[in-house]
Structure 1
């Protein structure tokens, strides 16, 4: 790729909002210069902000969109939803997963995300037999990300057991299961495929303390590079907390912190059900809370203690998880609204008097997301990758809105409709709300749905 210049009407930079901004991108997709008051290069107009990382994705669950909203014969819960999800997960072929993931990644880009953290646990064939290449399904996510032009941190999932203390897995989990040796082969293969690609990173995702034992996880972590990210579901459900207490006498977050020295290498996905002491300790550990507010609301998980966590200096990031909706604006809005509903207040997470709530949330999720993904993003500044979302300054909802007021309007009112253009690694992948490979990817997605509906 040749070096390029993009011109924006305004841009959010580390120095604050600047007007009439030209961003120079080198041949490797990194920002080499940012100049205010200068109109050079490709004029995109609009309001430029750093693109948001999506730190938690289960791409295969996009296939079941809208198909789990019918009441069952008894009380519905996360656990009844999980059984339905297993049924869908057992049906996808490698071709199906690639098609579904590519369509999902296009939707992410059009919403203003530029990186996906793919927490991928469909490792084997539907009957549980390994593929010839044990990394087959994760490689299909790489292929989908390449077709869509999105950055990806692939997080193959370590899953070995069906409950705390090494309980036997259930039949619906047969596609997920690996022990250390085969799992590390998956990681090694992915690392080879990611080498030299600036949009790819490799980490791992021990599914949960239900699905791995500390001993197994320590064995796997010992075989990783020191900077490889680690993402883990923890304390998503009250039943999970109760089961962990019954097994260990510790709550899940307590057990995780006792078993491992957490740092910003770790992302605790959900961490919904914590005591105040756990909340403060997790915040001080440096671990990032990977929050998925729209999915957590859809599944009836509960409300993350964001006010207490952020007051203790805790880092947050956002993900769309089961992809009930795909929108950084909507997940940030839901995070704030959950705190308002619980505490019967307003502007619960604003940084202080006179501060924009949307800006506070956006800055926090951007910073935490970049650390979680281990990718050089999160700012429109030299030395960062050119991952940029452009809001449509001519949209009626943004009439008269500038700077933080524009961010607040996007997050609390406009949502995806305000995203006009998206650049990833210096390449414009969304142009005037149209993805460059949209038709081909949508056609493949529809064909996969036809196969899966037969």
Structure 2
């Protein structure tokens, strides 16, 4: 067994999560095997200073979008203008370049306090649509990157068949930029997904790398293919979809199918507990009811939704309806779980004119076990407890941002810059912003980004 001694730690208690002093964790096989409070460190223990929290779970990521940070702000426009810039970056990816870039992006996540990520992956093939040798060149590159960074990866292999909703619901063809995202129909994707699951399970430890599924959107997956997925997708993996991110998507869906995107998913039995709807920014009251009754998860990405001018999603209404809220970094305008937490609450305040829409505890839950149903790899609960995976982040309580803050309210003061140590699967993987195996993420990113225009 290994031991970690925490100056302070947020632990589960009978009256709810509480910050305790002198917390010793015994770990075995990457999990917390024992937890004692009010003790001193034992010889050989790894000391974690500050306040130790559960590490965060990033429930929605497109790693290659990191190319665009700080490079898309020199003009007006909207999501659709940004998308054209994103397509140009996607066109430059190769497995070798993507592995290097994703390793750097995942290292940035780790030092920020994330121990797991759901990577919404749709760049499957060569630019002309031909498969890579072995069919899974891009997917395995992303998996190797996660292993190098030590982050738990749920690789969401994504179905993307159409360039939009055409007249009468007909599928618009994929554009030249989108061809590499496609597959030979839903059945072809299911076959490739099955082969990928088998290859990943044989090559990587399942607690670190597993495969999930995603539908890009109702724009990218025609109705007849939604039915095929509903009938044939294995029941033991999570399913994600971009949902109602833009009003134009809702308008096209209503015109073609007579219902909203959420209504279309409900029509085919795809609104379930295993579904994670990403963004869900522009929902009707009926959409909110459907998602809540299904017990689905909604993945909010507040800094991305602000950066892309998507709008403010109805997070409080969704939570009140029975939806589980989780958080993601999407296009990585910011990679910081603490900023995403308070951006969620700030959006609610701006939209409602009221403070305290989410408690600090609810925000921390959204950043941790809110993602549990969205992941195929383990996720920490919102407070430390015996039996959970040992994924931790220690936060300095005396920085210029956190000094004087109540530890359980760090969601309103801390940033990733205050994360001093990160532990994943019982291993110390990052300290003071430096990845212990890979070095400084900034240097890794600068080197990887040289290969993109």
Structure 2-normalised TM-score?
0.91
Shift of 1:341: 1.0
**1:373 corresponds to which residue?**
375
Residue 70 (str. 1) matches residue 94 (str. 2): no
**Aligned mates of 2:48, 2:395 — CA distance in 1:** 10
Question: What are the Cα deviations for residues 398-450 of structure 1, in whole angstroms up to 9, with x where unaligned?
Answer: 3344xxx2242x32223112111111111111123321133386655444322
Aligned in 2, Cα 1:254/1:186: closer, same or farther, shift over 3 Å? closer
Match of 2:293 among 281, 284, 287: 284
Match of 1:21 among 1, 20, 23: 23
**1:385 corresponds to which residue?**
389
**Aligned mates of 2:141, 2:193 — CA distance in 1:** 13
**1:43 corresponds to which residue?**
47
Do the aligned residues in 1 keep the contact of 2:105 with 2:441 (CA within 8 Å)? no
Do the aligned residues in 1 keep the contact of 2:337 with 2:367 (CA within 8 Å)? no
**Aligned mates of 1:320, 1:421 — CA distance in 2:** 20
Match of 1:269 among 268, 272, 278: 278
**2:201 corresponds to which residue?**
194
Do the aligned residues in 2 keep the contact of 1:264 with 1:372 (CA within 8 Å)? no
Do the aligned residues in 1 keep the contact of 2:67 with 2:452 (CA within 8 Å)? no
Do the aligned residues in 2 keep the contact of 1:156 with 1:187 (CA within 8 Å)? no
Aligned in 2, Cα 1:445/1:346: closer, same or farther, shift over 3 Å? closer
Q: Could you say what secondary structure the match of 1:369 adopts?
A: helix
Q: Could you say what secondary structure the match of 1:268 adopts?
A: strand
Residue 122 (str. 1) matches residue 123 (str. 2): yes
Q: Give 1:250-269 correspondences, 5 Å limit.
A: 250-269=259-278
Shift of 1:159: 0.6
**Aligned mates of 1:11, 1:441 — CA distance in 2:** 27
**1:9 corresponds to which residue?**
7
Do the aligned residues in 1 keep the contact of 2:105 with 2:445 (CA within 8 Å)? no
Shift of 1:112: 1.1
Shift of 1:187: 4.2
Q: Give 1:13-412 correspondences, 5 Å limit.
A: 13-15=11-13, 16-17=17-18, 18-26=20-28, 28-39=29-40, 40=42, 41-71=45-75, 76-164=77-165, 165=169, 166-178=171-183, 179-183=185-189, 184-195=191-202, 196-220=205-229, 222-349=231-358, 357-379=359-381, 380-401=384-405, 405-408=406-409, 410-412=410-412
Shift of 1:8: 0.4
Question: What are the Cα deviations for residues 273-319 of structure 1, in whole angstroms up to 9, with x where unaligned?
Answer: 11122112212211100111111111111111112111223201110
Number of residue equivalences: 436
Aligned in 2, Cα 1:338/1:444: closer, same or farther, shift over 3 Å? closer
Do the aligned residues in 1 keep the contact of 2:91 with 2:127 (CA within 8 Å)? yes
Aligned in 2, Cα 1:299/1:397: closer, same or farther, shift over 3 Å? closer
Do the aligned residues in 1 keep the contact of 2:8 with 2:23 (CA within 8 Å)? yes
**Aligned mates of 1:432, 1:296 — CA distance in 2:** 29
Shift of 1:394: 4.0
Shift of 1:11: 1.4
**Aligned mates of 2:329, 2:75 — CA distance in 1:** 23
Aligned in 2, Cα 1:325/1:282: closer, same or farther, shift over 3 Å? same
Aligned in 2, Cα 1:46/1:56: closer, same or farther, shift over 3 Å? same
* Gap regions ≥5 residues in structure 1: 350-356
Q: Could you say what secondary structure the match of 2:357 adopts?
A: coil
Q: Could you say what secondary structure the match of 1:204 adopts?
A: strand
**Aligned mates of 1:432, 1:279 — CA distance in 2:** 41
Shift of 1:202: 1.0
Shift of 1:199: 1.0
Shift of 1:217: 3.7
Shift of 1:451: 2.7
Shift of 1:213: 2.4
Do the aligned residues in 2 keep the contact of 1:102 with 1:441 (CA within 8 Å)? no
Question: What are the Cα deviations for residues 103-135 of structure 1, in whole angstroms up to 9, with x where unaligned?
Answer: 111111111111010001111112222111221
Do the aligned residues in 2 keep the contact of 1:52 with 1:369 (CA within 8 Å)? no
More displaced stretch, 417-426 vs 156-165: 156-165
**1:352 corresponds to which residue?**
none
Do the aligned residues in 2 keep the contact of 1:99 with 1:441 (CA within 8 Å)? no
Do the aligned residues in 2 keep the contact of 1:253 with 1:271 (CA within 8 Å)? no
**Aligned mates of 2:209, 2:180 — CA distance in 1:** 24
Do the aligned residues in 2 keep the contact of 1:134 with 1:186 (CA within 8 Å)? no
* Gap regions ≥5 residues in structure 2: none
Q: Could you say what secondary structure the match of 2:414 adopts?
A: helix
Structure 1-normalised TM-score?
0.91
